[in-house]
Chains A and B, each alone.
Chain A
Amino acid sequence: MQIFKNFYEKYINSKKVAPYIFVSPFILVFLVFYLYPIISTVIMSFQEIGFGEAKFIGLANYKKLFNVHYKNALLTSTNYTFWTILILVPLPIILAVFLNSDKTKFTNFFRSSIFMPALTSVIVAGMFFRYAFGEQASTLANSIIGIFGLEPITWLQNYIPAMIALVVLCVWRWLGVNIIYFLSGLQSIPEEIYEAADIDGANSWDKFKYITIPSLKPVIIYVITISVFGGYKMFAESYAYWQTATPNDIGMTIVSYIYQTGFNNFNMGFASAIGITLLLIVLVVNIIQLNIFGLFKKEEQ
């Protein structure tokens, strides 16, 4: 027993070893559930994997990427990312400014109400919007456009209406979350800056343009970054609307294409090659954002 106790005192409990015991769960998970899968995707992307054993086929899977389905998937993911960012950055900033004003009443009610959709799962929200965007004239979506004198639309069978349905679902679930991000950014702007601007005779618009927006820059970059990841990895929303039966590739995102190729057509090699392209997109965006934040430099100091 004494030996064990000495061993513990001398090694495990030392300031030299203890830190590694603290970080070991992370390292273990990283090796098993991140690094190994990433390496095995890279390997699989050069293989043809049927029911027998895997065969090395060089770049053949990557050459197959030049097909119309991949182009459609890439375009859908890019469109979705673009439109969600275009709405989910300016709109929540404006609403956050409204909510942050001490003249506004019922701010807690508004903030909580707009946040509520974030509590739902993609599937629950997706099922609701799937049938709210039904093709009959009586559905919610068609009766709303009916108010403006428009004819009913078969939403989920046409490219642009389907994209609108996807973006609406995303805006519904994320608006409140982004408002919270921007609110916390707004609250860190010192009141004196605004007071000084008042003395200089600045109007509300000037203050918004020259104080609020520049001060929110880090939050804006953060929100755009997570939105790019969120946009390019989008899959569950598409699954809720169409499962894997995307008509004419409508609503088929990069991850849907991976899923269909890998799990419906059992073409793991090609699916891995698609996955690698997505990984590269994510990596590039990641490096850009870490550079903007200057995190590498900061942590070295």
Chain B
Amino acid sequence: MSNSKVQITAIILVLSFFAFFALAPFFFMLISSFKPGDQIIKNGISASIDFDIMSLQNYKTLFTERSGIYLHWYKNSVLITTIQTAVAVFLSSWVGYGLAVYEFKGKNLIFVLVLVLMMVPIEILILPLYKLSITLKIIDSYAGVILPFIVPPVAVFFFRQFAVGLPTELIDAARIDGASEFAIFFKIMMPLMKPAYGAMIILQAMFSWNAFVWPLIVLRSNENFTLPIGLASLITPYGNSYDMLFSGAVISVVPIIILFMFKQNSFISGLTVGGVKG
């Protein structure tokens, strides 16, 4: 008996250690956000909590520094995340549904393409995509950030897996009633895919909000930056607004954490789709 109690206590201790490892940086980030920025850049982040040097000043600079550039970045992030999530989730459900319910020539080839592209990291293609976005005149714009990712293969795969399980009898019945193929999608199938939409909207929103590599390449001017690019620019020689760094980082994480608190299960079911494919 006591042996198993020792075991359980040991397990709880190990888990507590890793929970601490995971949460402590959030705490120190918050503490750092109240300290003068230049001091952190010079001395690094320490565990000390010294109320004399801590103030809300850094949060005020978010509104004032360079005529509120941070608010610009925030607005860009909100708009890009919203548009990209809406378009990407709709289009990938559209494609995934098509792959799931129809038999047609080339279907297997397209599905294998989806599987392969799921794994191709965008990092490999940054150079040609950069040149392409100049040619297409979408460089340094919202469209430039969004367009290459309007049909994410991972999301297509997710919706395809979900739509395979939809009841095909409903489709046949609707066809007999004279419904068009597209009406069937909009009126019957979209409502049935609601759980899949929930999971993908959240996951896609998180990806867009945190996206870094491609926006770093395609966004060129300061006022078009998204939050991650803006924050990264703060420590370059041109940035020089160290006070905004950690207060800005804290405020940028808040929306995702709130979303996570309310929609934990959607995060998890969205993430595990790739892992448990039959």
Taking beta carbons and an 8 Å cutoff, which residues of A are in contact with B? 13-16, 18-23, 25-30, 32-34, 36-38, 40-41, 44, 95, 98-99, 101, 103-106, 109-110, 112-117, 119-125, 127-129, 131-136, 138-140, 143, 172, 175-177, 180-181, 184-185, 188, 218-219, 222-223, 225-226, 229, 232-233, 235-236, 239-240, 243, 255, 258-259, 262-263, 268, 271-272, 275, 278-279, 282, 285-286, 289-290, 293, 295-296, 299-300
Contacts and interface: CB of A to CB of B under 8 A. Distances in A.
Contacts of B274: 222, 226
Given A28-B151, A40-B128, 12 more contacts: A18-B181, A20-B104, A33-B132, A104-B15, A116-B26, A119-B253, A124-B249, A129-B25, A139-B45, A184-B275, A236-B212, A296-B112
B15 A37 contact: no
Given A26-B110, A116-B22, A128-B25, A185 B232 contact: no
Contacts of B124: 233, 255, 275, 278-279, 282
Nearest to B249: A124
Contacts of A23: 95, 98-99, 110
Contact of B119 (A37, A135, A229): A229
B111 interface: yes
Nearest to A92: B18
B46 interface: yes
Contacts of B181: 13-15, 18
Nearest to B229: A123
Interface in B32-54: 32, 40-41, 43-48
Contacts of A139: 43-46
B22 A38 contact: no
Nearest to A123: B228
B192 interface: no
Contact of B45 (A110, A117, A131, A232): A131
A135 B91 CA distance: 48
Interface string B258-278: 001000100110011011110
- Interface-centre pick from B128, B227, B232, B277 (highest chain A CB count, 10 A): B128
Interface string B105-124: 00110111111110111011
A159 B213 CA distance: 24
A18 to B, nearest CB: 4
A41 B125 contact: yes
Contact of B228 (A110, A122, A268, A300): A122
A90 B10 CA distance: 18
B249 A127 contact: yes
Interface of B: 4, 8, 11-12, 14-16, 18-19, 21-23, 25-26, 28-29, 32, 40-41, 43-48, 91, 94-95, 97-99, 102-104, 107-108, 110-117, 119-121, 123-132, 147-148, 150-151, 153, 156, 180-182, 185, 206, 209-213, 216-217, 227-229, 231-232, 235-236, 245-246, 249, 252-253, 256-257, 260, 264, 267-268, 271-272, 274-277
B232 A123 contact: yes
B15 A99 contact: yes
Instruction: Please classify the interface of chain A as helix (H, G, I), strand (E, B), loop, or mixed, using the class held by over half of its residues.
Output: helix
B40 to A, nearest CB: 6
Contact of A38 (B128, B150, B209): B128
A121 B125 contact: no
A175 B22 contact: yes
B136 to A, nearest CB: 8
Contact of B111 (A22, A133, A299): A299
A141 to B, nearest CB: 8
A95 B12 CA distance: 10
A98 B21 CA distance: 17
B113 A30 contact: yes
A127 B210 contact: no
B127 to A, nearest CB: 5
Contact of B44 (A20, A134, A295): A134
A124 B256 CA distance: 13
A103 B11 CA distance: 10
Given A38-B125, A119-B256, A176-B22, A181 B210 contact: no
A27 B94 CA distance: 12
B95 A105 contact: no
A172 B19 CA distance: 10
